[in-house]
Structure 1
Amino acid sequence: MSYPNYPNQPYPPQPPQPNPSNTLSIVGIVLGCVAFLFCPPLFGIAGIVCGVIANSKGERLAKTAIGVSAAGLIVGVILGIVAFQGVYGV
């Protein structure tokens, strides 16, 4: 019994596998949490950048890191404004 001779057919490209490491995502989440109380522009933006880089690498928690960092930035700035108005009565 002979088998038909098929030409070499390339395999279709596989979708990128998610990165099992969540290091940058966790760093982004921690920076977002720190941004609630300490220097929101610095830590919030750094957390968003870490989350975006983690998203481009396919990390599972990247979207969570972006959300937590954005919330830390926004809420931290609002808390800073409220505290500034309370202290200085502006």
Structure 2
Amino acid sequence: MSYPNQPYQPQPPNTSNTLSVVGIVLGCVAFFFCPPLFGIAGIVCGVIANSKGERLAKTAIGVSVAGLVLGMILGFFLFRSVYGA
């Protein structure tokens, strides 16, 4: 059954920040453990959260990129100090 005379009701804004928080946590974990895996997963969560309009999405992307880059740099220096290349 169709109701053609119903007025348009916009969707309420998204108040959930679940994916953003997951992206932030993954970005922080990427600093210490397996940066390529957790950093990229955090970036993906942040981008999906941004498409859903979550408030903390840009923070999640930034933290994940920083965790990825800094984790790779830290891993490089630790590898060099352990194996003395």
1:38 matched to 2:37? The reply is: no
RMSD of aligned residue pairs (Cα, Å): 1.8
Q: TM-score, normalised by structure 1?
A: 0.82
The answer as to 2:49 corresponding to 1:54 is yes
Matched, 1:66 2:61: yes
Distance 1:22 1:79 in 2: 29
Q: Which whole-Å CA distance do the structure 1 matches of 2:34 and 2:79 have between them?
A: 13
Q: What amino acid maps onto 2:38 in structure 1?
A: F
Aligned residues: 80
Q: Is the 8 A contact 1:18 1:60 kept in 2?
A: no
Matched, 1:21 2:16: yes
**Stretch deviating more after TM superposition (57-66 or 17-26):** 17-26
Q: Which stretches in structure 2 are left out of the alignment for 5+ residues? A: 1-6
Q: For 2:31, what is the secondary structure of its paired residue?
A: coil
The question of whether the paired residues in 2 share the 8 Å contact of 1:17 and 1:58 is answered with: no
- More helix per residue: 1 or 2? 2
> Runs ≥4 in structure 1, deviation > 2 angstroms?
none
| Structure 1 segments unaligned to the other structure (5+ residues) | 1-9
